[in-house]
């Protein structure tokens, strides 16, 4: 019997992007994995997400409420309404398996799998398993991890550390490239620094970089490209000076990764995984208010493996970043070594390997 599979890839880009990567594999390899249909289940508010503009399969939209900030008496009724719609949509499409990517928006699909005794698989992107993984792993057939987790997974649950699934459009044309082997020889060894605050931007990162560029020794050696986030573009542009390149957002990130020798970013699992496949060293500045402080754990793991340095701060004080950059100015071999470690941790085939783990063929 062929599978009809729903990928519950909901709330944020960190859940959507790997979910779309899995959908790409399943739609291309239907016969290999004995699949009849593939669907993505995502929130209606994600319609403008770049990864869902031209999805590889049908998207089933839903509008499940988030409990946070909602009156407790109202939430059950709103959730029940959306869950009922989900059940009707899944029954109509004869869904036989659900892959949950995490986040509250995957809850209706997961509950459907449990209630109607369908196969349930879970993907966990972060070093600290989210609530969905912690609460529902015991119902899962298998669990796929992007990184080793801080807390041990139950020995009763089959799991495997595979890596975060990467979309096809991100994967480098030439596998195994190392961005820092020559550090742009012929350009006076200028180091290109890509700054990523996420689609919503990060004022802290933007301001830290602008202050960093005021250091003449840094300015001499490093060139910066800052993806500010659309809401912070005008503000950051008005403050910028010199040759710092200010961009609001990029739908196609591959050219930016190919340009970069170094990335300064938050430590979401998606950004980290993309930097790894390009062999990029990182300076990670975890978002301090992330659920369960998972960004800190992600950053600490990558630093421990030698692919990044971290800055644990809520201020835009540039002193530590300046210190790192000036160290690399006189010792670029450290950047090269970090790049090698980054590439060592990468897995460009994580999407295919995850599907193969869930549906052996």
Known binding-site residues for UDP-N-acetyl-alpha-D-glucosamine equal 12-14, 126, 167, 199, 295
C-alpha separations of 233 from 209, 228, 257, 271 in Å: 14, 5, 20, 20
Three-state SS for 60? Answer: strand
Distance, CA of 81 to CA of 89 (rounded, Å): 13
Closest CA to 263 of 232, 314, 224, 289: 224
With beta carbons less than 8 A apart as the criterion, state whether 75 and 41 touch.
no
The two tokens of residue 325 are: 């950059």
Question: 237-244, long-range: CB within 8 Å, 24+ apart, which pairs?
Answer: 239/207, 239/210, 240/210, 241/210, 241/213, 241/214, 242/213, 244/209, 244/210, 244/213
Dihedral sign, Cα of residue 81, residue 83, residue 87, residue 92: positive
| Residue list, annotated binding site | 12-14, 126, 167, 199, 295
Three-state SS at 245: strand
Give 187: exposed, middle or buried? Use CB within 10 Å, 0-12, 13-18, 19+. Answer: exposed
Report the C-alpha gap between 194 and 205 in whole angstroms. Answer: 11
């Amino acid at each position: 019997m062929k599978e009809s599979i729903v990928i519950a890839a909901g709330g944020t880009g960190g859940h959507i992007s790997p979910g779309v990567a899995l959908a790409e594999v399943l739609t291309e390899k239907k016969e290999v994995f004995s699949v009849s249909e593939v669907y993505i289940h995502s929130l209606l508010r994600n319609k403008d997400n770049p990864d869902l503009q031209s999805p590889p399969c049908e998207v089933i939209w839903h509008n499940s409420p988030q409990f946070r900030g909602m009156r407790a008496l109202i939430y059950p009724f709103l959730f029940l309404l959306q869950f009922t719609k989900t059940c009707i949509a899944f029954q109509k499409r004869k869904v036989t398996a659900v892959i949950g990517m995490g986040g509250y928006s995957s809850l209706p699909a997961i509950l459907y799998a449990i209630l109607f005794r369908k196969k349930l698989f879970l993907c966990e992107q972060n070093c600290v398993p989210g609530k969905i993984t912690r609460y529902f792993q015991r119902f899962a057939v298998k669990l796929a991890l992007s990184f080793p987790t801080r807390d041990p997974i139950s020995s009763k649950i089959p799991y495997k550390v595979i890596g975060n699934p990467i979309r096809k459009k991100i994967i480098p044309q030439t596998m195994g490239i190392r961005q820092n082997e020559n550090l742009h020889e012929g350009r006076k060894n200028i180091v290109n620094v890509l700054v990523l605050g996420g689609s919503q931007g990060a004022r802290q990162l933007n301001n830290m970089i602008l202050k960093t560029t005021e250091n003449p020794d840094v300015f001499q050696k490093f060139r910066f490209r800052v993806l500010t986030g659309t809401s912070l573009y005008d503000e950051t542009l008005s403050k910028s000076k010199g040759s710092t390149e200010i961009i609001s957002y990029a739908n196609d990130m591959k050219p930016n990764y190919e340009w970069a020798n170094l990335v300064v970013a938050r430590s979401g699992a998606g950004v980290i995984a993309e930097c790894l496949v390009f062999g990029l060293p990182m300076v990670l500045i975890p978002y301090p208010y992330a659920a369960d402080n998972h960004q800190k754990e992600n950053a600490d793991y990558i630093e421990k493996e030698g692919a990044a340095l971290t800055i644990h701060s809520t201020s835009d004080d540039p002193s530590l970043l300046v210190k790192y950059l000036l160290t690399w100015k006189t010792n670029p071999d450290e950047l090269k070594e970090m790049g090698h470690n980054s590439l060592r941790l990468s897995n460009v085939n994580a999407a295919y390997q995850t599907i193969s783990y869930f549906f052996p063929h």
